């Protein structure tokens, strides 16, 4: 259960009360036990943190806002990510998010480090593919065969427009803060959500690696099942080449159970010739013990072949675990 902390700030000099601020402490702990088998290595049985073989990376954080009047609010979010199997904090300390901003009738404007709007579109394409987790093949091996995108920007200006008739959009710009090189990054998303349907287009330009990413994603909830799918086009350099990537997933809930499966494939071409092909499959199930605690089991396998058809990566992961939110 989220713990809400109410703080009243008082001006020491005048004694006048400032607007009321609300701060919420939240978190998630996800740990599993399972096995990973990789090409050329011995199979290893181990305890995983959620980001390795689970539903999500463990985290804790603070989120808060202050009502400034006239519909304007100040807001902030600080989120730490950590490995639950050994308690080690990931770096940077607030790896998940570190932002401050304003929101109102104009939408929201945030400054700092956070996930990109392009990553939002990728998440939509995997929303019904094994819970968008470490068992989801698209974002855990298959899409990385040619080159991966940055899911978070540092030094970022992020704008989200208010939803208008189901249409939503957002913009990101990250400063490179380097006078000797052009490494700034830019991205946008535009989408439409109405009832059970959600579709979105995303774009991300990363100057530092001279690569652009374009994603088209969609999801639909049929009630008895939900479906998500997506297509990604990566345009890289003469060395890294270009990618075409696809994913599809289905989630079927019944009672306290959810069962989900996902498939993904990609092809990388350099100078017009295929340099790599990847494919992967994932399967998982969760059981809700309460609104905050879930048991789960998951399986993922993905394979990458080079242009000559030789397997260069062959990975299988399975695990059972528990996730608790607070």
Q: In the structure encoding, which two tokens stand for residue 133, read together? A: 């987790």
Cβ atoms of residues 235 and 228 within 8 Å: no
Which residue numbers in the chain have pLDDT < 70? 1-20
If one counts every other C-beta atom within 10 angstroms of the C-beta of residue 319, the result is: 26
The Cα 243–Cα 233 span in angstroms is: 6
The Cα 130–Cα 286 span in angstroms is: 10
What pLDDT was estimated at residue 140? 95
* 19 within some domain: no
* 223 within some domain: yes
* 17 within some domain: no
What is the CATH classification number for the domain harbouring 34? 2.40.160.10
* 15 within some domain: no
Domain range for residue 146? 3-9+24-325
* 130 within some domain: yes
The Cα 16–Cα 31 span in angstroms is: 47
How many distinct structural domains can be found in the chain?
1
Query: Cβ contacts of residue 272 below 8 Å, gap of 6+?
Result: none
pTM over cut 0.85: yes
In the three-class reduction of DSSP (H, G, I as helix; E, B as strand; rest coil), residue 222 is classed as coil
DSSP state of 8: -
Cβ atoms of residues 127 and 164 within 8 Å: no
The Cα 298–Cα 300 span in angstroms is: 7
What pLDDT was estimated at residue 147? 85
* 16 within some domain: no
* 18 within some domain: no
What pLDDT was estimated at residue 226? 98
Query: Cβ contacts of residue 46 below 8 Å, gap of 6+?
Result: 33, 34, 35, 36, 85
Cα dihedral across residues 230, 234, 240, 242: positive or negative: positive
The Cα 94–Cα 219 span in angstroms is: 31
Which has the closest alpha carbon to 24: 89, 75, 83? 75
* 258 within some domain: yes
């Amino acid at each position: 259960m989220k713990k809400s902390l109410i703080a009243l700030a008082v001006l020491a000099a005048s004694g006048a009360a400032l607007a009321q601020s609300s701060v919420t402490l939240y978190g998630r702990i996800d740990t599993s036990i399972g096995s990973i088998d990789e090409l050329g290595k011995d199979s290893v049985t181990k305890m995983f943190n959620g980001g390795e073989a689970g539903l999500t990376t463990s985290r804790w954080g603070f989120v808060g806002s202050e009502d400034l009047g006239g519909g304007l609010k100040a807001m902030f979010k600080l989120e730490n990510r950590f490995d639950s199997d050994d308690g080690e904090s990931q770096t940077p300390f607030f790896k998940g998010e570190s932002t401050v901003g304003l929101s109102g009738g104009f939408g929201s404007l945030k400054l700092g480090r956070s996930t990109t709007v392009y990553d939002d579109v990728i998440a939509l394409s995997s929303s019904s593919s094994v819970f968008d987790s470490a068992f989801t093949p698209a974002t855990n091996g298959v899409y990385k065969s040619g080159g991966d995108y940055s899911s978070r920007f540092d030094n970022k200006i992020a704008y989200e427009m208010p939803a208008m008739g189901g249409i939503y959009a957002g913009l990101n710009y990250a400063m490179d803060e380097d006078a000797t090189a052009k490494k700034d990054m830019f991205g946008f998303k535009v989408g439409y959500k109405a009832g059970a349907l959600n579709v979105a287009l995303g774009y991300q330009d990363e100057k530092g690696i001279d690569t652009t990413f374009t994603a088209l994603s969609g999801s639909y909830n049929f009630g008895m099942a939900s479906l998500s799918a997506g297509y990604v086009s990566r345009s890289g350099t003469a060395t890294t080449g270009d990618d075409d990537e696809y994913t599809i997933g289905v989630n079927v809930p019944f009672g306290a159970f959810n069962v989900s499966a996902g498939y993904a494939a990609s092809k990388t071409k350099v100078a017009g010739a295929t340099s790599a092909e990847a494919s992967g499959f994932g399967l998982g199930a969760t059981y809700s013990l309460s609104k905050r605690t879930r048991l789960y089991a998951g399986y993922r396998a993905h394979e990458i072949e080079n242009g000559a058809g030789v397997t260069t990566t062959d990975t299988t992961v399975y695990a059972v675990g528990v996730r608790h939110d607070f």
